[in-house]
Chains A and B, each alone.
Chain A
Amino acid sequence: MSIKSIVGCIGCGECVQSCPTDVIRLSTVNKKAYIAYPADCQMCHLCRMSCPVDAITIDSEKSIPVMVSWG
């Protein structure tokens, strides 16, 4: 499912800021990052590269149908 899991988050918010498509948000309850809008993940890995504790895992498959130019 694109961005797949966030484990061991320390709540710094770097991934939220660095995601171009606003996929990740910080929970108002536990102040940790969670995957809010996975359908909009473009698998660019900027969040993973920005995370200071390597908490983010990203998959290769998109969680919604993919349209390509020919098949």
Chain B
Amino acid sequence: MSEKSGISRRQFLGLSGGVVAAATLASMGIKYHGTKNERELDLNDIKYKESETDVLVIGGGMAGLFAAVKAHDAGAKVLLVSKGRVGSSGATPFAKGIFVYDSNTATISIDEFVEQVSKSAIDTNRKEYTKQMAMYSKERVEELKQWGFFDSPLYHKSFSTPIKKRNIPVKERIMITHLIKENGRIAGAAGFSFDEPIVHIFKAKSVILCTGAGGFKPNGFPICDLTHDGTIMAYNIGAKITGKEFNDGHSGSQTNPADCYTGWHGMFDRTPSTNGVEVHHDLGVDLNYKAYVLGNPISMMPGADNTSVEGGPYIPEGFNRQNQNDENRPSGPPSGENGDGPSGTPPMNGKNEKVTSGGGPGGGPSGGAPAGVSQASSGGASAGMSIHKSEGIAPINLQGESTIPGLYAAGDALGSYMAGAIYTQVGSSLAGSAVQGAIVAQAAAKYCESVTLQNIPSSKLKTIKAEILAPLKRDSGYGAAWVTQILQGIMIPNFVLYIKKENLLNAALAYVKELRDHHSPMLKAANLHELRLAHETKNMIITAEMKLKASLMRTESRCSHYRLDYPDVDYKNWQAWINIYKDSEGNMKFEKVPFGEWTKA
């Protein structure tokens, strides 16, 4: 049961150093390495189940909640399927502050708010989505209040209230691995259960991906259940993907970096609250830059190391840390947040007053760390994740529609660029998922009125089932946990994803291609838990390829994308987003979409 390798755990803590370190770990005799597949279930016991619905909502976070409820209210037959429990999986359970634009109390108009966000985001935000979030935030928060969301630190119960009331069927602990397209439009999805050997086929007129974002199962950020599954399955059937070059920049503590709960100072125990307008330019990559230039220790505690370094990411005028300072906000880098930004503000309570608990990982100024705990920070806590809402399915309109008819996305799964490629408005990530979920649901329900359920040929279903079960059927191969560790060794060091330069992006890409071509097709699984890990690992490898290639393509620095070899914002060539898609031969392709224009199918 334990993965102990004879080397003391303390020796592992704080390990870093890229591929070399990963190779060292591999040689430490970690269990998963190279052993025969000791299958724990009988392949003959595997069953298949088919269900039908109008709208299939995949994901049970804030976006999935509103997508299911509002699609039902718009008259569609809805089924919600999720990898984890509704309200207790994805990023949602850990977000405690939700933004409300209240015209009665706000000191600026919605249009002024959008302009502020755009200024901070150096034009990377899609203004229509920024505005949409602000416009409908209050309606969604009112509903959450009615359902009891603000009464408990755990969200499952309040999320279940409107779902149960409507008798919306929910299937949890099922990982969707495939979207199914027929005749150029969506026909359903497929996946498997963690609890029983069942492959599930869901036939649907429309699918809403509320699968959140993801990462490389990083340490210090509680998103290890998210591996961009929705993005990758949409990419696999031809949808366009965006935002992969940007990086969430949260850092954690050098001491017990994987301990998310302590790193966030017990914030997960708190009931959620609301906050008003507060636009920042919360980077995180600046801390990575500082660590890169100065070396350790880098601390985020008040009064700690405030040495400034030359160069580094550009911060738009009016948004530098000094200007953002207040008595609760020391000039030391990332203090944590009420939520979104790596260097966000201290948490607020419902009355818009700053409260003294909380703060992000690595030592918030407001909460502070337990006495005696070192506050030296480590980066990469959220490695593999972009800024919330900047990555995911590229929408063709304000209704979260993808380039594939019938396929929609909302929340962190949608590359809406609602906040831009940087954290801007505090608490807007939760609000955005709620707002988008509700709006997309109505569009999906309407779409269902004009189409019929499609027949999925049995040959196609057979192929999908075979792909889902392949790691279980392999007698030999590679353990997913080991491949994931190697991937982390390649991608997490700060000189790869955070402080980017061409030669190292290419070097990392060479390793990732090896994992893609050689290891991905040879992943093995002994049980349903490992089957999940195998599919997640596959998705992480494709994500890594996307991140590296998009980072190579973007020959400038802007917001959370920092190129040491192209340190300036390039207003001439890069007023554009990058879309990624698969061409008919299966190659990964890239296109530029000028800021403000919509993606074309």
Contacts and interface: CB of A to CB of B under 8 A. Distances in A.
Interface in B508-548: 529, 532-533
Interface in B245-270: 251-252, 254, 256-262, 268-269
Interface in B194-241: 194, 218-220, 222-225
A68 B379 contact: yes
Contacts of A37: 529
A23 B249 CA distance: 27
A62 B30 CA distance: 14
Contact of A67 (B30, B153, B380, B533): B380
A9 B339 CA distance: 33
Given A70-B291, A70-B292, A70-B494, A65 B25 contact: yes
- Residue among A35, A49, A60 with most chain B CB within 10 A: A60
B96 to A, nearest CB: 13
B12 A68 contact: no
Nearest to B32: A39
A5 interface: no
A2 B21 CA distance: 22
Interface stretch (B83-91, B303-311, B399-407): B83-91
B333 interface: no
B453 interface: no
Nearest to B22: A67
A64 interface: yes
Interface in A4-34: 17-22
Given A67-B16, A70-B379, A49 B153 contact: yes
A17 B172 contact: yes
Interface string B425-466: 000000000000000000000000000000000000000000
Nearest to B292: A70
B88 A46 contact: yes
B269 A62 contact: no
B592 interface: no
A3 B533 CA distance: 19
Interface string B6-39: 0001101111110001100100101000000000
Contact of B224 (A21, A35, A38, A67): A21
A69 B268 contact: no
Given A1-B2, A20-B84, A43-B261, A70 B154 contact: no
Interface in B470-489: 481, 485, 488-489
B326 interface: no
B259 A71 contact: no
B16 A44 contact: no
Contact of B258 (A21, A35, A66): A66
Given A37-B529, A42-B224, A69-B498, A63 B3 contact: yes
Interface of B: 1-4, 9-10, 12-17, 21-22, 25, 28, 30, 83-85, 88-90, 93-94, 153-154, 156, 172-173, 194, 218-220, 222-225, 251-252, 254, 256-262, 268-269, 288, 291-292, 295-296, 298, 378-381, 383, 481, 485, 488-489, 492-494, 498, 529, 532-533
24 contacts: A19-B84, A20-B224, A42-B225, A43-B259, A44-B94, A44-B268, A49-B153, A50-B154, A61-B10, A61-B259, A63-B4, A65-B28, A65-B30, A67-B488, A68-B15, A68-B220, A68-B380, A69-B291, A69-B383, A69-B494, A70-B291, A71-B14, A71-B16, A71-B17
